[in-house]
Structure 1
């Protein structure tokens, strides 16, 4: 039975913990996209403000009227990777950044409209026929590896000369050990707030041990429409973005199924329909403010399993606090002083739990020397591609590179093909 109430003090700390978790997952995305599109610091700050407000609203709406679970709604990692890949290929494509951004905007708008149509016409069961339980397991494993690789790299402080900054890097690993011990040997209260304690204590320790740059809390930025580029008809960019958004829908299925198991219940069609509807609306609105398609974060499962707090109220409050960060620039600037290495170290521990969720998703499967291929091939191929330099795929057609060079997408697509082409249940030992 899931506990339904918390005291005021515990709710406050749990809400702050959700705030830091959501913030740490979101803050890097608009910055990296702004840099990739060669935007000015003021334009990047405006997109970041929009992302804080948009993320807070998205989380709260999903919690209230969408799937109604405490799952963070944020910028899709699938689309994030595609956008950065397209930007890096700008010169090869022979397009300017505004042209690429405009094509991406059109693709997102069409994908949003298509997803809304799927929801309204109750066609989302078609997605579930493609995203089978085995595909979801592959998805969770690849998501775990992708995130762990990202956060492990983020823990490493690399100087401008390309040399590792050992003191800060060792400090990051120290935070990993500290937060892990809070989870393993700490009492229930300490374990529940290990993420919050790791961020706050790590932040304070970093401030006293290492020099940090001062941030102007009084700076403001105005929000512009379509800052990455006005919608256009660049067909290649539109198609690749649209396909990426279709694959992104697997986030919704995997997230809802995974978290429902924590609550020992089966999600209803209404929950799927409402969540897909909101996902479509977010995809259609996001490009207007220079953002990318949003989706439920299956990685939230790792956070919930780490904190053991399944009550929805702190999550909703955390979403509301994110909105305040965007409305009040000084608050967002203050929280932006959180060292990236500290945030990545804490998230590294939180997402270790996601590996356990991936293993649990295999309950009921009995693998033999033959059937193990349905899991091993897509997962291992996907992980191998993740470790390769994307430039190695430059010989492929330019519009296929963002899909083929993305280990996560390649692995999921390979899993779908294997499940549809082979009758695994009929294969013997």
Structure 2
């Protein structure tokens, strides 16, 4: 009980709160805008997102995988949903019909995810995620997310595809100063202070923003939560959308493997089948809840690896405290209103620093791979193709069939699927260093590999 009242745990919990907030607040805003929802429904989406994300984090820490890993609205799902919104009108599909079919597909994918967790099938899926797949996944995820947050630092609105968008140089200079300060502080400051570098960066950047800029980037949240099911549209059955949702849900399982495998070194233990099973069960439950309330489905955040490496705080108690405070923010509009005034450019700058650490995790997986000619191609193809597809504007994909468009327009999905395919066809497990000796033995014996 005494540990609960330690100031360091509450400071770490506050740092987790900001991390949860900055990773969450942009998602319901952009989804609400994409579906052209009125302001009151967007506010409800924001507060639901705060509440359920806080609950999901605490449940995972106490009953799920039992690690300090954020459970939040999946960036992979976020990209798929925004892509569907962009292409729906050209296919003669109204936004309400899209929202209703997405809700059905998301709930089905959530049920499948729960069944994967309850049945123990996750341990078989885990074998597909070899070091090569994990290296590609971590690298592409870092690229995709840092594109989003670099845009925020530049003052370009999240989710915008408008050619009229432009860089705000003064905002970028402030954001860059926050990035440099957080990096220098985390490297040069004593350990007792460096572990709070993200929190210090957010508070200092927020104060500077308020002093230097008259305009506010934050979100105005007022009033009480209006509980309404299926705010994006009444349930409907567009088979194409439902199939895409189910496929996205299956690919979304990569986040669970990425987050748990990626934190194995931090916790000095290997994730067990039970941990995967409990994690999938909770993620699936909250995916069903997301479908009911119009939210983006949930998954463990791989970016938590960067946060844990940056802060050196891996205990569960601060994480649970942060999740509890975030849950309360969703229930108390006044508190949410204060937090929602955080400038998105400052939050993006701090997250940019956090997500840079994904390179370290990616390189650790690359180090496990024997770089033969075959392996170079298997790594390079998904990496380069995924990054190139990320750079394409959505207009490039207008000639692609509508069923395949959300897949091909998402470079992260393309890279992951290609890596899974190449890693798990003929030479599945011969690429890691621990198998090099066996490979040599097979060659000496004259056996085909």
Q: Which TM-score band applies after superposition, normalised by the shorter structure? A: over 0.9
Q: After superposition, where does 1:22-421 map in structure 2 within 5 Å?
A: 22-158=20-156, 162-213=165-216, 218-421=222-425
Superposed CA offset, 1:350-409 (max 9, x none) = 111111111112233221344211211111111111111121111110110100111100
Pick closer, same or farther for the CA change 1:218–1:385 going to 2, 3 Å. closer
Aligned-pair CA distance for 1:6: 8.7
1:212 counterpart SS class = coil
1:226 counterpart SS class = coil
1:421 counterpart SS class = coil
Cα distance in 2 between the residues matched to 1:23 and 1:233? 33
Aligned-pair CA distance for 1:79: 0.9
Pick closer, same or farther for the CA change 1:222–1:204 going to 2, 3 Å. same
Q: Is the 8 A contact 1:215 1:334 kept in 2?
A: no
Aligned-pair CA distance for 1:421: 2.5
Cα distance in 1 between the residues matched to 2:29 and 2:44? 10
1:63 counterpart SS class = helix
2:42 counterpart SS class = helix
Where does residue 21 of structure 1 map in the other structure?
A: 19
Pick closer, same or farther for the CA change 1:218–1:124 going to 2, 3 Å. closer
Q: Is the 8 A contact 1:47 1:223 kept in 2?
A: no
Aligned-pair CA distance for 1:61: 0.3
Pick closer, same or farther for the CA change 1:215–1:253 going to 2, 3 Å. closer
1:306 counterpart SS class = helix
Cα distance in 2 between the residues matched to 1:130 and 1:364? 16
**Aligned alpha-carbon RMSD (Å):** 1.9
Cα distance in 2 between the residues matched to 1:86 and 1:269? 34
Pick closer, same or farther for the CA change 1:370–1:48 going to 2, 3 Å. same
1:34 counterpart SS class = helix
Q: Is the 8 A contact 2:123 2:276 kept in 1?
A: no
Aligned-pair CA distance for 1:317: 0.5
Cα distance in 2 between the residues matched to 1:370 and 1:239? 33
Aligned-pair CA distance for 1:190: 2.0
Cα distance in 2 between the residues matched to 1:358 and 1:207? 37
Cα distance in 2 between the residues matched to 1:180 and 1:117? 42
Cα distance in 2 between the residues matched to 1:367 and 1:105? 43
Q: Which runs of 5+ in 2 are unaligned?
A: 431-438, 444-449
Cα distance in 2 between the residues matched to 1:14 and 1:39? 36
Pick closer, same or farther for the CA change 1:147–1:40 going to 2, 3 Å. same
1:175 counterpart SS class = helix
Pick closer, same or farther for the CA change 1:376–1:216 going to 2, 3 Å. closer
Cα distance in 2 between the residues matched to 1:15 and 1:419? 39
1:295 counterpart SS class = strand
Superposed CA offset, 1:15-67 (max 9, x none) = 10000000000000000000000000110000111000000000000000000
TM-score by length of 2: 0.91
Cα distance in 2 between the residues matched to 1:27 and 1:377? 34
2:357 counterpart SS class = helix
Pick closer, same or farther for the CA change 1:207–1:179 going to 2, 3 Å. same
Aligned-pair CA distance for 1:192: 0.2
Larger deviation: 246-255 or 390-399? 390-399
Where does residue 434 of structure 2 map in the other structure?
A: none
Where does residue 435 of structure 2 map in the other structure?
A: none
